[in-house]
Chain A
Amino acid sequence: GAVVSQHPSRVICKSGTSVKIECRSLDFQATTMFWYRQFPKQSLMLMATSNEGSKATYEQGVEKDKFLINHASLTLSTLTVTSAHPEDSSFYICSALSGQGAAGELFFGEGSRLTVL
């Protein structure tokens, strides 16, 4: 099946620094990617929808200046957590859409665990 790769899988950073997480669709082109965050024992929470070549659509309550999303190509979307703080520590997951409509399939990355000290 199709593969979506996230990098890094784990990152530890100091408070105040910025961290970039990459999401790549390895064997298909993804015009749309989704970014989620997940806290322990909780479900995935949609942060934003990323469309190639256009600005991301953020969910209510998600700060667009805090979580910068760039979808510059059909195989790569990046999430940058700017000026990270301990409360940003979480598991971040991306997904990529292959195809459209009823034939569309959604593939998830392995996730990236961010720990802010």
Chain B
Amino acid sequence: LAKTTQPISMDSYEGQEVNITCSHNNIATNDYITWYQQFPSQGPRFIIQGYKTKVTNEVASLFIPADRKSSTLSLPRVSLSDTAVYYCLVGAGYSSASKIIFGSGTRLSIRP
């Protein structure tokens, strides 16, 4: 899987929009970009997945520029409950041959 780089930590306040950017300079043509959220003492939870341009679901948006060397997870109007670690993963879908390797993730702290 392509290596990813994210900020180690970010702080924001309730009600703000938070954007977390992930760099993946060596992304392959058939790689997808997936973001996971992890709360303490829980397994990661799927947030959103995309290949190019923009993807939006009920909890987040994912922006992917044309060169696909980076992606930005956008969380609209965050609340205290969005405090978590966010991981960006890049890979060509998943198969038994895949190694699902996690990077360092971004520790997001939301303040009142």
Q: Which residues of A contact B (CB under 8 A)?
A: 1, 4, 6, 31-32, 34, 36, 43-46, 49, 51, 91, 93-95, 97, 99-111, 113
B43 within 8 A of A: yes
Residues of B within 8 A of A51 (CB): 96
Query: Which label, helix, strand, loop or mixed, suits the secondary structure of the B interface?
Result: loop
CB <8 Å contact, B93 and A103: yes
Residues of A within 8 A of B105 (CB): 43
B87 within 8 A of A: yes
Interface centre among B30, B95, B96 (most CB of A within 10 A): B96
Query: Which label, helix, strand, loop or mixed, suits the secondary structure of the A interface?
Result: strand
With A97-B95, A100-B93, A102-B92 as given contacts, are A111 and B43 in contact (CB-CB < 8 Å)?
A: yes
**Cα separation A51 to B98 with both chains bound (whole Å):** 12
Give, as a whole number of angstroms, the nearest-CB distance from A112 to chain B: 10
Residues of A within 8 A of B103 (CB): 43
B42 within 8 A of A: yes
Q: Which of A32, A46, A106 is in CB contact (< 8 Å) with B101?
A: A46
Interface residues on B, range: 20 to 34
Residues of B within 8 A of A103 (CB): 93
CB <8 Å contact, B100 and A91: no
CB <8 Å contact, A102 and B30: yes
Question: Which residue of chain B has its CB nearest to the CB of A107?
Answer: B46
B13 within 8 A of A: no
CB <8 Å contact, B94 and A100: yes
B5 within 8 A of A: no
Known: A36-B102, A49-B99. 8 other contacts (CB 8 A): A32-B94, A44-B44, A51-B96, A101-B93, A104-B94, A104-B98, A106-B94, A110-B42
CB <8 Å contact, A102 and B32: yes
**Cα separation A31 to B98 with both chains bound (whole Å):** 13
Residues of B within 8 A of A46 (CB): 99-102
Residues of A within 8 A of B30 (CB): 102
Residues of A within 8 A of B57 (CB): none
B69 within 8 A of A: no
